């Protein structure tokens, strides 16, 4: 179903682009579709990018699902994110244990593999939820384990690329 919708939207974008080129002016950019599409390859798809580094971070984070690999008992999402980023070859900000410090990394668009930063939580974007929220995998999910769940977009202060 998602593939059929993606092909239909892609066809519409290509047709629109072809029609625009036949006019005297060109459309230089467009507003991306407000939806996250899983993309294991390093190319742009409907305005969102995803690459092997993001996919690596997701699989590394998910491999710890249901447990706490940090040994900390409280507020360990930043610590977990640093562990995953290092294992995947990503950058880690100074003061990484504090979730909001992740906003110091270079900003990016919302896409699968990006890091979603909230004032008191941080996690890796894995998709879009049916209610319009952002699905993330993170440490300290439910205060006790690595898990995956939906976060309201209004809680997210930045999307960054480690």
Q: Tell me: pLDDT of 1 over 70.
A: no
Report pLDDT for 53.
58
Per-residue pLDDT tens digits for 16-41:
444 444 434 333 332 233 333 343 33
Q: Both 10 and 68 in a single domain?
A: no
- CATH classification at residue 99: 3.90.1720.10
Task: Tell me the residue range of the domain where 3 lies.
Answer: 1-30
Report pLDDT for 109.
94
Per-residue pLDDT tens digits for 62-80:
999 999 999 888 899 999 9
Q: Both 14 and 85 in a single domain?
A: no
The total number of structural domains that make up the chain? 2
Q: Measure the N-to-C terminal CA separation of the chain; round to a whole number of Å.
A: 32
Contacts of 157 (CB under 8 A, 6+ apart): 100, 103, 117, 118, 119
The CA-atom distances, in angstroms, between 139 and each of 15, 67, 83, 128 are 43, 9, 10, 19
Q: Tell me: pLDDT of 144 over 90.
A: no
Q: Both 114 and 154 in a single domain?
A: yes
Q: Both 93 and 45 in a single domain?
A: yes
Per-residue pLDDT tens digits for 98-140:
999 999 999 999 999 999 999 999 999 999 999 899 999 999 9
pTM of the model: 0.67
Q: Both 7 and 72 in a single domain?
A: no
DSSP output for 60-107: HHHTTBTS-SS--SSS-HHHHHHHHHHHTT----TTTTSGGGGGGSPB
What average pLDDT is seen over the chain? 76
């Amino acid at each position: 179903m998602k593939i059929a919708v993606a092909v239909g939207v892609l066809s519409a974008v290509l047709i629109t682009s072809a029609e625009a080129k036949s006019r005297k002016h060109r459309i230089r950019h467009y507003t991306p579709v407000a939806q996250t599409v899983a993309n294991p390859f390093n190319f742009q798809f409907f305005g969102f990018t995803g690459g092997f580094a993001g996919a690596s971070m997701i699989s590394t984070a998910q491999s710890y699902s249901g447990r706490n690999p940090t040994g900390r008992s409280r507020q360990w999402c930043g610590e977990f994110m640093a562990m995953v980023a290092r294992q995947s070859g990503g950058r880690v900000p100074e003061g990484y244990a504090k979730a909001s410090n992740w906003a110091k990394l270079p900003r990016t668009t919302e896409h699968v593999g990006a890091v979603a930063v909230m004032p008191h939580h941080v996690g890796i974007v894995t998709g879009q939820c049916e209610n319009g929220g952002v699905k993330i995998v993170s440490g300290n999910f439910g205060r006790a384990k690595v898990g995956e769940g939906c976060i309201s977009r209004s809680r997210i202060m930045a999307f960054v690329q480690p």
